[in-house]
Amino acid sequence: MDFVVSKVAMAACALLAATVLAGALNPSKFIDIEDELDCMLSDFCRLAERVGMSGSVMSVLWEVPYLASGDAARIEISDGTVTASSGDRRVLAEPGIPLHTWSWDGGPLNASEEALLDCHALGLVASSGSVISVVSCNVQYENDSKILVFVQEAT
């Protein structure tokens, strides 16, 4: 009888040890979600800055990636900031250039009109798998020309 009890106890201990080790060695335990979101934002901001600093009119598409765990991420662009979030984790960045979420009608602009349009514009929200269009436009701006960068969800 002692033999059977000892074998059952050993099997239970082995099962418990295997369960603990499986949880401890789960690859998702080693992934820092905030760091991953921060890298995502850095990539997006660098791309937008390159478009804005190019000095020319261009359009680039950027797809919001999924996290390494397969979870979806969400990007929000508004009020001069870009935010990435997933679940209860949230990371904020400020790109080196202003990003506008309103549509330009092709007419001339000045600083006060730009500020007013930015103030009343709805922010852009996109989730993993969505594509964001980053477009630089040469705008007639206060008797000169200026490159402005616009972001919209691509259709």
Per-residue pLDDT of 98-137, as tens digits, reads 999 999 999 999 999 999 999 999 999 999 999 999 999 9
Q: Check residue 1 and give its pLDDT.
A: 64
More confident residue, 32 or 84: 84
Q: Check residue 13 and give its pLDDT.
A: 64
Q: Check residue 8 and give its pLDDT.
A: 63
Q: How far apart are CA 24 and CA 30, in angstroms?
A: 9
Reported confidence tier of residue 11, pLDDT bands at 50, 70, 90: low
Q: Check residue 32 and give its pLDDT.
A: 87
| Collapsed DSSP state (helix, strand, coil) of residue 70 | coil
Cα-based distances in Å from 59 to 30, 121, 132, 148, 151: 36, 20, 10, 12, 10
What number is the average pLDDT over the span 80-89?
A: 94
Least confident of 18-22, 81-85, 93-97: 18-22
Q: Check residue 71 and give its pLDDT.
A: 95
Give the tens place of pLDDT for each residue, 22-67.
665 555 555 689 999 999 999 999 999 999 999 899 999 999 999 9
Q: Check residue 60 and give its pLDDT.
A: 97
Sign of torsion over alpha carbons 86, 154, 96, 142? negative
